[in-house]
Amino acid sequence: MKFENTTILITGVAGFIGFYLAKQILESNDSTVSIIGVDNVNSYYESSLKENRISLLQKISLENENGQFTFVKCSIANKLEIDEIFVKYKPSIVVNLAAQAGVRYSISNPDAYIESNVVGFFNILEACRHSYDKGQKGVEHLVYASSSSVYGSNEKVPYSTEDKVDNPVSLYAATKKSNELFAHSYSKLYGIPSTGLRFFTVYGPMGRPDMAYFSFTNNIVKGKKIQLFNNGEMFRDFTYIDDIVAGIINVMKKSPEPTSDGVKYKVYNIGNNQPESLFNFVETLEKCLIAEGIISEPVEKEFLPMQPGDVYQTYADVDDLVRDFGFKPNTSLEEGLSRFVKWYKQYYLQ
Ligand SMILES: NC(=O)c1ccc[n+]([C@@H]2O[C@H](COP(=O)([O-])OP(=O)(O)OC[C@H]3O[C@@H](n4cnc5c(N)ncnc54)[C@H](O)[C@@H]3O)[C@@H](O)[C@H]2O)c1
């Protein structure tokens, strides 16, 4: 998909989703597209993975006929630096993916969530607001990451953006819901067109080592038994990274239509619309590891009770996405996990 003469700011660009989004845009556009990538490259998980992602983006942008990439190492919680970036580069599309992710980590490390997800997001909104100062064209569309975790223990499935989500079960979820509320007020008050995206368990090559599919793989490869919470009876709408990126790019290109009270504000789910049990997920992962010759047989499983902050299931209603963009994630779990395992083998085991 083409963006012409566009400057796009992507925060969290060294992260899993930010990296693939920037990569896809750089590879499918010429040098009239410029990506300004921001990330503080923190050590929540192995920072070498983040540094490798940035190096890959820099390499791609140096190749002929690709978009340009500029990396700025900074925290979105640093208001002064964020303001300077907006003044210097004047992005027309902003994609805010920088955040402290993870549900379980938020139980013991709440400060990190307030700093990046609340203060940081507020700084992005303020910078968008001031981008219109003195009659400048400013930001045409702010797209930001929310999360399926806002649905908490919602019992109705599939989860719809029409559902009431006022009962978060983790601070992480509360910060993501607050982002949607902040964005609504800024869209209403200052006319910033904004779209929030509730991602559902994103996985894939070069993904996040803190997520279950990755740590399961680490343990299975070492022959260690793996722990399945709620006895493996948990359901997740696992969504392959390429589908997430395609969804974000579709959304970036079209700022939301005004609501009945004139606010250019929208929230979408992006999920696979096909929940899988954790138990089936692990079985599929083991099959892929066996197919690649990494293990010869399934490992022992330890069945444990539910963990605080965890939810029983996630299941995305993606009707709005289909209606507005004709798009729906479609990568099967077998295909997605097989690609992940091939990458894992080449990155860690060869
Ligand atoms: N991966 C998923 O399953 C999933 C699901 C729902 C929502 N999300 C959301 O999508 C976004 C991207 O997630 P991801 O999986 O790529 O996570 P990630 O942790 O790989 O990427 C986030 C990036 O943001 C950076 N970052 C964190 N705080 C920052 C700060 N204050 N300033 C600048 N950079 C900062 C990190 O260094 C990291 O590189 C996040 O907002 C996350 O909450 C992800």
Is 342 among the domain residues? no
User: What is the C-alpha separation between 105 and 103, in angstroms, rounded?
Assistant: 6
Measured from the CB, is residue 193 less than 6 Å from ligand 1? no
Q: Give 10 Cα–ligand 1 centroid separation in angstroms.
A: 11
Measured from the CB, is residue 274 less than 6 Å from ligand 1? no
User: What is the C-alpha separation between 200 and 17, in angstroms, rounded?
Assistant: 12
Rounded to two decimals, the pTM is: 0.98
Catalytic site positions: 172
Is 127 among the domain residues? yes
Q: Check residue 307 and give its pLDDT.
A: 87
**CATH number of the domain encompassing residue 47:** 3.40.50.720
Atom of ligand 1 nearest to the CA of 45: 19
The answer to whether residues 131 and 138 touch, using CB atoms and an 8 Å cutoff, is yes
Is 183 among the domain residues? yes
Q: Tell me which residues of the chain have a pLDDT lower than 50.
A: none
Is 142 among the domain residues? yes
Q: Assign residue 293 a region (left: φ > 0; alpha: ψ between -120 and 50; beta: otherwise).
A: left
Q: How far is CA 109 from the centre of its chain?
A: 20
Nearest CA to ligand 1 atom 27: 99
Q: Give 298 Cα–ligand 1 centroid separation in angstroms.
A: 31
- The total of structural domains in the chain comes to 1
Measured from the CB, is residue 269 less than 6 Å from ligand 1? no
- In tens, the pLDDT along 294-348 reads 999 999 999 999 988 788 999 999 999 999 999 999 999 999 999 999 999 999 9
Measured from the CB, is residue 10 less than 6 Å from ligand 1? no
Nearest CA to ligand 1 atom 21: 15
Could you tell me the residue range of the domain that residue 42 belongs to?
A: 7-203+238-273+315-330
Over the range 298-326, which residues count as b (16 or more CB within 10 Å of their CB) and which as e?
ebebeeeeeeebbbebbbbbbeebeeebe
User: What is the C-alpha separation between 19 and 2, in angstroms, rounded?
Assistant: 18
Is 247 among the domain residues? yes
Is 119 among the domain residues? yes
Atom of ligand 1 nearest to the CA of 77: 31
Measured from the CB, is residue 18 less than 6 Å from ligand 1? yes
Q: Give 280 Cα–ligand 1 centroid separation in angstroms.
A: 27
- In tens, the pLDDT along 86-103 reads 999 999 999 999 999 999
The answer to whether residues 259 and 187 touch, using CB atoms and an 8 Å cutoff, is no
If one residue of 11, 13, 16 were mutated to test the ligand 1 pocket, choosing by the most ligand atoms within 8 A of its CB, it would be 16
Is 82 among the domain residues? yes
Q: Assign residue 204 a region (left: φ > 0; alpha: ψ between -120 and 50; beta: otherwise).
A: left
Amino acid in the structure at residue 20: Y
* Average predicted confidence (pLDDT) for the chain: 96
Is 292 among the domain residues? no
Q: Give 174 Cα–ligand 1 centroid separation in angstroms.
A: 15
- Identify which of 5, 260, 327 has the alpha carbon closest to the alpha carbon of residue 140: 5
26: its two tokens: 């750089």
Q: Which residues fall within 8 angstroms of residue 162, CB to CB, at 6 or more apart? A: none
